[in-house]
A and B are shown apart, each in its own frame.
Chain A
Amino acid sequence: MAVFATFVAVVGGVLLRDRPAEQARAGATILASLLGAAFAIGWLLYFFPL
């Protein structure tokens, strides 16, 4: 999941911004959002049986 999120974040960051520093920041934001959402949804579903 983390590897997938990293690839998407790298490509997304490079697509959205032109400067390397801004691309890195955008990519990090995308990565954090994807991983954060995955963990949040995972914990949410944890409380539902099956």
Chain B
Amino acid sequence: MATGSKAKTQAPAGPARPLWLVYLVSWLVPGGGHLWLGRRQKGLTFLIALPAMFVIGLALEGRLFPFELSDPLVALAAMANVGSGLPYLIARMLGLGAGVPVAVTYEYGNAFVITAGLLNALVIIDAHDVALGRK
């Protein structure tokens, strides 16, 4: 009997996943948490889009900001950068993200890199909801 309610895609039943591990995987690999929880389409979208945003930001001469607590806005930008997870860690290890402030695209690059990290934070929250069965 049709009820008119939206059919929700359910994650396949599986062993209980520790929430902290879902958070860690979601942070490290953008979309990884969703892939692990069985949401392949969402996970693949995030896996492609968020690292792409991060890489484009670096290519546009954006900067990976340091944790300078004396400058709160820089510290906030640094926190946002870290939100990207593994792309951020790899970029740091390779010495990327020095930024070129005089470049025309510098601020655009910063916008891409910072937003990629912030969007991954939203993705982690969404993975939390999926893990708890709310979505």
Contacts and interface: CB of A to CB of B under 8 A. Distances in A.
Interface of A: 3-4, 7-8, 10-11, 14-15, 18-20
A4 B126 contact: no
Interface string B37-54: 000011001100110110
Given A7-B52, A19-B9, 17 more contacts: A4-B111, A4-B115, A7-B49, A7-B53, A7-B112, A7-B115, A8-B115, A10-B49, A11-B122, A14-B45, A14-B46, A15-B122, A15-B123, A15-B126, A18-B8, A18-B135, A19-B6
Nearest to B122: A15
Interface in B77-135: 108, 111-112, 115, 119, 122-123, 126, 135
Interface in B2-44: 6, 8-9, 41-42
Interface residues of B, number: 21
